[in-house]
Amino acid sequence: MMAPRDHLADDLPLYALDALEGEERVTVEKHLRECAECRGEVEQLREDWALLALSASGPAAPPRSRQRVITAVAREPRQPQIRARKRPVWLNALGWASVSAAILVIVFLARQNNDLEAQLASLQARSAADEQQLRQARELATALTSANAEHFTLVANNARPQPQGKAMYNPPTGTLVFLASNMPAIPAHNAYELWLIPASGAAPIPAGVFKPDASGSATVIKAALPTRIDAKTFAVTVEPEAGSSAPTSQPIMVGTRG
């Protein structure tokens, strides 16, 4: 049985590095199945390579390991023909591990960025909603306190409890605030619609569609009515759920000034 220093000794270091291919690899593997001494030599060489690899970033490898590797490499004959050597498997694994780690970091950062953008969008939407509510509150305060505000009381007869409504209208700004109470429930396909009845005798102006809550209360805040319209009164009718451009039924509530 041949010792590792015979004609296969030059190929054992390459085999230990997984850099031997073709017939030479087949020959070495066949010999290793029969030679325990060579198998031991290959295992020792692999341990030495591992120690040397770790020594690049960790503690220094033992001098005996370095010397064994240097001796094994020195036995390799110098040949003019360049042999293509396969990249060591552990180097391939290290490369793929680095790439995988980089991909995971990129995916994590992308998800974090998406989460931050979603949170920012949510905060911006919430801020816009808060601003709208604040604007409506200011409009309500203006309608209630302005010297130009006109007040109308709307009532429905022959109903108990009696539905009531309060309309506060500011002609210079077209701002309208309407508060209703004791309103009867209304079918799902219908809604109540508020109308501004101009003093000029012109056609009624739609002033908002609403449905009461479970207690019969409702609020309409309208800031987009035509400005400087002198209101004779306000009225409420029952209309299709989307509202109408002109009343389609008789008023159930009509207002009086004051």
In-domain check, residue 2: no
- One domain, residues 21 and 31: yes
Q: Give the pLDDT band (50/70/90) at residue 6.
A: low
In-domain check, residue 221: yes
Examine the pLDDT at 244 and tell me if it is beyond 70.
yes
- One domain, residues 68 and 134: no
pLDDT of residue 54: 53
Which residue range forms the structural domain that includes residue 65? Answer: 12-86
- One domain, residues 94 and 81: no
Q: Are 165 and 236 in contact (CB under 8 A)?
A: yes
Task: Note the pTM of the prediction, 2 decimals.
Answer: 0.49
Reading the block at residue 154, the tokens are 């709307």
Cis amide prior to 161 (ω within 30 degrees): yes
In-domain check, residue 67: yes
Q: Which of 82-91, 158-167, 187-196, 238-247 has the lowest mean pLDDT?
A: 82-91
Rounded average pLDDT over 25-41: 86
- One domain, residues 223 and 185: yes
Integer Cα distance of 36 and 1 in angstroms: 9
- One domain, residues 162 and 82: no
Q: In what order do the strands lie in the sheet with 218-222?
A: 205-210, 190-198, 231-240, 253-257, 150-155, 164-170, 175-181, 218-222
pLDDT of residue 47: 72
- One domain, residues 18 and 75: yes
Rounded average pLDDT over 74-94: 50
State the total domains in the chain.
3
Rounded average pLDDT over 99-122: 75
